[in-house]
Amino acid sequence: MAMPSRRVPETPVATPQGSGSKPALFDVGFNERLPFGQAVILGLQNVFGMTGMFVFPGLLGRAFNLSPEQIAYLYGMSFATCGIITILQSVLLLRLPIIQGPYAGNFAALMAVGHLESGGLGAAYGSLAIAALIWCVLTVPIRGFSIAGLFAQYLRAPIISGMIVILTIVQIANVALPAWIGQPSSPGFGGVNLGAGSIAVAVLIAVTVWGGKIWRRGAVLFALAIGSVVYALFRPVSFAQVASAPVLVTPQIFPFGFAVQADLVAIFLLVLIAAGMGSMAMYQLVADWGDEKLSPARASEGVLGVGLGTILIGVVGGFSTIVYPDNIGLMRTTRVGSRYATMAAGILLIVLGGCVKFDMLLVLVPTPVLSASATLLFGIVFMQGVQMLGRVNWDDRAFIAAGLAIMVGIGGLFIPPDALNQMPLWLRLVVQQPVISGGLTVVILYALLGREKPVQVKEG
């Protein structure tokens, strides 16, 4: 059941002339419902926009030599758990049009921890579940205060929220243009990948800019469909994966075994904090678009929903989640901000997660086509972060905080492998995730150097 969302009255500047009913950025406001057919189309677009959903389970499964059945299981659980968390965010806790998808940082941590001699996937997922439980405790407001709420207060500052949006895009940029181009050993490398992806981007731009209100809502689906057809003309797509996949998937309790290690719990807690910081920055961005009041308590509820979902992920398998930037970009391109559209995406994710054959059918969309579309959508969100920084009063303190954060965040991606191998695992994961390294840098420097205290918002 949808819960009522508190609205802040829009100012004349933020609403279209003569409307007074919704922010100027959207044709459909946050609390407005859509016809069933349009909600389904938008839901499907959001599912296709979750690039990591189609990449991470297969990569993880092959890295650990899992059987095809186990890889299919990972796909199913990733879809279903992301769907549950998305519904929580859309209509129950956060009450914003937010899509939660697999987090690249958690994927990297599972890969690193799972290959440790003292670790393994059983210890990785068991430690992730305990870390998520601790994170949930940190998000629960007690007498109007929570650790996550404290972060939310600082993230209201444009310099912090804008920087974290930018660092989030930097962190996941490797699944955009690099995956569009592909590897020399991958099918379609060269002209096919670039050509099919370019056509998908051209269609996405054309429909978004000139397609009108209705056609624009199907822009990503049109782009993916046409790009896939072009790709298939040169590289036939095999349906063998669909034929061999099971029909339904049943959740299993700790399918890879169970173990808990304190050091691994600390690593996954850092990963969850980074995802929480990135998500809260996105919450603020979306709330600003819709002229919604996002109090620290409300932001904490959103992070609590992620924590609850991550406990489930640790138990049944999958990946912890973060707000997906390409879904945020999709909302801007379609001009539909309805949280009931994102709720429809959550329902579709659960349905798809239960039907592995359909999961594998979706995976047949060529990675270069998906990644090409993601490249454009990521770029839209990146520029929104730049726009947020435009509200900053740039003085020496702001330049220091933002400059050091961006260089620390990006610089960690270029540390030589020999130097990384000499670092403890936790430090290696921190410096290679810009949202953690750069995000913590800008938060700490803002707290130490900022002239203004973070905006205090009454809880409730």
| CA-closest candidate to residue 47, choices 202, 242, 295, 224 | 224
Q: What is the pLDDT of residue 22?
A: 52
Q: Assess if residue 453 is contained within a domain.
A: no
Pairing type for strands 100-102 and 321-323 reads antiparallel
pLDDT at 458 over 50: no
Please say if the pLDDT value at position 3 is more than 50. no
Whether 396 maps to a domain, the answer reads: no
- Here the tokens at position 212 are 């009108």
Decide if 291 is inside a domain: yes
Taking the C-alpha atoms of residue 218 and residue 424, their distance in angstroms, rounded to an integer, is: 47
pLDDT of 24 reads 63
pLDDT at 86 over 60: yes
Residue 442 lies in a domain: no
Q: For residue 449, tell me if it sits in a domain.
A: no
The mean of the pLDDT values for the chain is: 81
Average pLDDT over residues 255-276: 85
User: How many CA atoms lie within 13 Å of 69's alpha carbon, on the beta-carbon side?
Assistant: 8
- Is 232 part of any domain? yes
Give pLDDT, residue 288. 86
Structural domain contains residue 196 = yes
- Residue-wise pLDDT tens digits, 377-394: 888 888 888 988 988 989
Q: How confident is the model at residue 106 (pLDDT cuts 50, 70, 90)?
A: confident
Q: How confident is the model at residue 8 (pLDDT cuts 50, 70, 90)?
A: very low
Confidence band of 88 (pLDDT split at 50, 70, 90):
very high
Angle in degrees, CA 364, 366, 370, rounded to 5: 115
213 pLDDT tier (thresholds 50, 70, 90) = low
Question: Which pLDDT score is estimated for 409?
Answer: 92
d(CA 231, CA 51): 17
Based on the structure, what is the number of domains in the chain?
1
Q: Residue 38: which pLDDT band, with cuts at 50, 70 and 90?
A: confident
Contacts 24+ apart (CB under 8 A), 115-120: 115/63, 116/425, 118/261, 119/261, 119/264, 120/256, 120/257, 120/259
Lowest mean pLDDT among 36-50, 151-165, 228-242: 151-165
The answer to the question of residue 414 being in a domain is no
Report the percent of the chain where pLDDT is more than 70. 88
DSSP reduced 3-state for 72: helix
- The total of other beta-carbon atoms located within 10 Å of residue 419's CB is 10
Residue 352 CA neighbour count, 13 Å, CB half: 26
pLDDT digits 0-9 by tens, 142-180:
766 677 767 666 666 888 878 888 887 887 787 788 888
Q: What is the pLDDT of residue 270?
A: 79
CB 54 within 8 A of CB 179: no
Amino acid at 36: F
Residue among 87, 131, 80, 140 nearest 105 (CA): 131
Q: Is 108 exposed, middle or buried (0-12, 13-18, 19+ CB in 10 A)?
A: middle
- What secondary structure does DSSP assign to 187-198, as a single string? TTTTHHHHHHHH
**What mean pLDDT do residues 330-335 have?**
81
Of 302, 290, 300, 285, the residue nearest 391 (C-alpha): 285
Q: Which domain holds residue 127?
A: 34-389
